[in-house]
Amino acid sequence: MNMEEQFILSPARQLTDAEKELIWRRPPSHKASEEELRICREIKRNWNRGEMKIANILLEGDAGSGKTQLAKALSARLGLPYTKVTCFADMDKTDVIGAILPVVSRESLEKMEPEEQKLLKALYESDGFQSAAEILMDVLGVSQEQAALRMKKLLKLAAENTEGEAVEYRFYPSEIVRAYQKGYILEIQEPTVIRDAAVLMALNSALELDGSINLPTEIIRRHPDFIAVITTNRNYAGCRPLNEALRDRIQHTEKMDLPPKEVMMERAAAKTGYRNREVLDVLAEIIIVLDKTARANAIKGVAGMRSFFYWADAVAAGASARESLYHKVIYKITTDSEEIRLLEEALTSQGLLASLEEVELEVKKTKC
Ligand SMILES: Nc1ncnc2c1ncn2[C@@H]1O[C@H](COP(=O)(O)OP(=O)(O)O)[C@@H](O)[C@H]1O
Ligand SMILES: [Mg+2]
């Protein structure tokens, strides 16, 4: 068997062209990680073992550690379409399950604002492949949360414009239901922010291995290929821990931190095209020390992979490494002078600011 295909879960499954489009294609910059291979092996190993099946995964850890990309990499490896839901505080049950939209008559439709007409038409004309939120995101170019809010306004509007009439209703399943029913990989981003306990319960029952979801129109069974990947940043301000009941449904968890220095350098080189190993080494080392120091001193911000990429990219473009350290990394962690002093001290005591100056000099010399 081809190495690339060793983890395909359901080789006999026929996907539609639209579904095939949803399978992630690894870009050349993607580097397979240990976590990725471990999860694939685990899922594959237990795939046909009934109750022991592993289909609810939790990736918890630092922002930028690669959780979303790992969920996408699973799509590529396992051969399943990828989709995601970005949770938000005011999520309600229609966001988890879907919405019932009355079909407004042509006359009423024509009296509405042009944008409202456009949105309702897009919804009525959809072939049912996309969820309502996806349709609105496409038409308006907005985030999932904004699309969800917009949908609620449209529901109200449609209800007002059909009052007292005998109308046809259409049900629009949510992205969650779609993935659940059709057997996709669903990344559930940050369910920790959801406030309504009933919404958490609905999400929780959707994660039952042998579960089903009750829609107003029908009962939907969990597709055997449905895999839920919950991704959550540990401990960031305003973020509660993951609900215990949800946590209890998880069958495999990865703790996602800053990757090892080698991997950090590899990813940064792949992403920015900058390949000066000596420089990348010092920058990575500094990120690691800042990350540790921030934690040890209860400084809230993060020095993560994203800061590292932007910093390396600025240096690659000729910016001073010392100066851009502040704009790309330190000020993103904190702008409090006392906290900045603590971070600087940590770098000085490990000789890292000196190393930074050294590699900068080297770079300048080779350019002359
Ligand atoms: N395995 C990988 N190989 C190369 N780059 C990666 C890998 N994983 C993550 N990255 C890069 O790191 C950045 C952050 O990854 P992301 O998955 O968005 O993190 P998170 O979801 O944990 O916040 C992205 O720019 C992504 O392209
Ligand atoms: Mg993410």
Q: So where are the chain's domains? A: 3-90+176-256, 99-171, 261-367
238: which 2 tokens? 């305003």
Nearest protein Cα to ligand 1, atom 8: 66
Instruction: Dig out the tokens for 17 from the structure.
Output: 């062209």
Could you say which DSSP state residue 79 is in?
A: T
Burial of 156 (0-12, 13-18, 19+ CB in 10 A): exposed
Pocket test for ligand 1, best of 67, 264, 267, 311 (most atoms within 8 A of CB): 267
Burial class (CB in 10 A: 0-12, 13-18, 19+), 62: buried
CATH class, domain 3-90+176-256, is alpha beta
259 C-beta closer than 6 A to ligand 1: no
Testing ligand 1's pocket by substitution, the residue of 69, 192, 263, 308 carrying the most ligand atoms inside 8 A of its CB is 69
**Mean pLDDT, consecutive 10-residue segments, the chain of 368 residues?**
81 94 94 95 95 96 93 98 95 91 92 94 89 93 93 93 85 93 97 93 91 89 97 74 91 95 95 94 97 92 93 95 96 96 97 93 76
Partners of 222 in the β-ladder: none
pLDDT tens-place string over residues 19-52:
999 999 999 889 999 999 999 999 999 999 999 9
| Location of structure tokens 């699309």 | 147
Closest residue (by CA) to atom 12 of ligand 1? 66
* pTM of the full structure: 0.90
3-state helix, strand, coil in the chain (%, to 5): 55, 10, 35
Structure confidence by residue, pLDDT tens digits, 282-326? 999 999 999 999 999 999 888 899 999 999 999 999 999 999 999
